[in-house]
């Protein structure tokens, strides 16, 4: 299964053009807060599952004659913050590769953007793999993970399939060593056969970006530091549960870690609240499923959407309960997916 877990660098490179695909990941132990904003060093380690749905496909083509980068996002020219983040990322790739050409970036996302559905994770993982190949940067999966991190922290984990842990690294070291110290890698896990049932409570973009929200939480929430400390213990417990193949324990730890993260935000000044009444109704339905004997556990990110971890065999039943709790909302069932990879000519 190793080949499924690693990004591959052959053979999608053709004369400065490369296309890559990546899927989002959902954190079971959350990343919330940076100890270095410029280098995207997280305050804590985190752990996630890469999904087998919602791929982002990104093509990077070097444009030697162009005076600036162009970015097309779902068929339209990207502007504002989205364009700025992608251009800054290309600048970093140019610096590393010693090349100066501008690039055309064409990216297609199948997941709502900015809605707490991890679009920046799949987006920057695909961009890192495609841009590294187009600019001729030879990086292994660890190097690609470090690079993807510089676009969006959670993207470091989407380089890998299945379960991945992202090391916080050493923010206290010099910049070079600090940069090298923070990357994701696959986590050993027994065969769990999990599913994540995703309730899209609201697909609109969030009002406060996760970047701004995590900064405010770290700066002002009295609950942040205690959560960060307990998250380290959660991660240790999570590794044991994954190795044992104890999906109920995995779910229980993921749920407490996520609710703890949301508690830190609620205690920020001013508070950041991503949960909506509909999110709470879905959380109630998860409690009811547990009372009925289904090992279903919820996690939430920087948005109102709820993701429910459960055994694959119970996924339909969980989806039905969630649909009843959130009528009219889209519900998706995901399993563990592959890591970011280059596409061959005939796969595009
Ligand atoms: C709540 O990776 O989107 O989804 O590094 O600032 O781009 P930046 O943030 P981002 O934050 C994700 C936060 C989270 C939890 C997680 O995925 O671990």
- Per residue in 170-186, pLDDT tens? 999 999 999 999 999 99
Nearest-atom index, ligand 1, CA of 120:
3
- Per residue in 41-57, pLDDT tens? 999 999 999 999 999 99
Q: Is the pLDDT of residue 348 over 70?
A: no
Q: Give yes or no for residue 27 CB within 6 A of ligand 1.
A: yes
Ligand 1 mutation pick, 48, 302, 305, max ligand atoms within 8 A of CB: 302
All domains in the chain, ordered by first residue: 13-189 (3.30.230.10), 194-334 (3.30.70.890)
Q: Give yes or no for residue 182 CB within 6 A of ligand 1.
A: no
> Is the overall model pTM greater than 0.75, yes or no?
yes
Computed over every residue of the chain, the mean pLDDT equals 93
Q: Identify whether the C-beta of residue 121 lies closer than 8 Å to the C-beta of residue 24.
A: yes
pLDDT at 33: 98
Across the beta sheet with 330-334, the strand order is 297-300, 306-311, 194-200, 330-334
Q: What integer is the mean pLDDT of 323-332?
A: 96
The model's confidence at residue 345, banded by pLDDT at 50, 70 and 90, is low
Q: What integer is the mean pLDDT of 23-36?
A: 98
Q: How far is CA 180 from CA 33, 46, 142, 168, 173, in A?
A: 19, 17, 9, 11, 10
pLDDT at 116: 62
Which of these ranges, 200-214, 232-246, 268-282, has the smallest mean pLDDT? 200-214
Q: How far away, in angstroms, is 302 Cα from ligand 1 center?
A: 8
Q: Give yes or no for residue 46 CB within 6 A of ligand 1.
A: yes
Share of the chain above pLDDT 70, in %: 93
- Per residue in 304-313, pLDDT tens? 999 999 999 9
């Amino acid at each position: 299964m190793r080949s499924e877990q690693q990004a591959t660098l052959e053979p999608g490179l053709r004369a400065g053009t490369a296309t890559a695909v990546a899927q989002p990941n959902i954190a079971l132990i959350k990343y919330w807060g940076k100890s270095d904003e410029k280098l995207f060093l997280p305050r804590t380690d985190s752990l996630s599952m890469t999904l087998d749905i919602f791929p982002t496909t990104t093509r990077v083509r070097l444009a030697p004659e162009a005076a600036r980068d162009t970015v097309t996002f779902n068929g339209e020219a990207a502007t504002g913050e989205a364009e700025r983040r992608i251009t800054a990322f290309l600048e970093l790739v140019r610096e590393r590769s010693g090349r100066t050409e501008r690039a055309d970036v064409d990216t297609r996302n199948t997941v709502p953007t900015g809605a707490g559905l991890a679009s920046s994770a799949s987006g920057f993982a695909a961009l890192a793999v495609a841009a590294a190949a187009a600019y001729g940067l030879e990086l292994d999966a660890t190097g690609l993970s470090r690079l993807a991190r510089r676009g969006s922290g959670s993207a470091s984990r989407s380089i890998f399939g299945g379960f991945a842990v992202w090391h916080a690294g050493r923010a206290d070291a010099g910049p070079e060593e600090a940069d090298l110290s923070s990357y994701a890698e696959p986590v050993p896990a027994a065969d769990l056969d999990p599913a994540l049932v995703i309730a899209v409570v609201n697909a609109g973009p969030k009002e406060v970006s996760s970047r701004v929200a995590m900064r405010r939480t770290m700066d002002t929430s009295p609950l942040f530091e205690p959560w960060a400390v307990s998250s380290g213990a959660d991660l240790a417990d999570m590794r044991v549960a994954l190795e044992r193949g104890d999906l109920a324990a995995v779910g229980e730890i993921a749920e407490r870690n996520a609710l703890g993260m949301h508690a830190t935000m609620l205690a920020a000044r001013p508070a950041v609240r991503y949960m909506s009444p509909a999110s709470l109704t879905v959380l109630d339905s998860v409690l009811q499923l547990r009372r009925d004997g289904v090992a279903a556990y919820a996690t939430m990110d920087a948005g109102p959407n709820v993701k429910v971890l459960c055994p694959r065999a119970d996924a339909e039943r969980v989806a039905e309960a969630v649909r009843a709790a959130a009528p009219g909302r889209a519900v998706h069932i995901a399993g563990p997916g592959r890591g970011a990879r280059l596409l061959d000519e005939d796969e595009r």
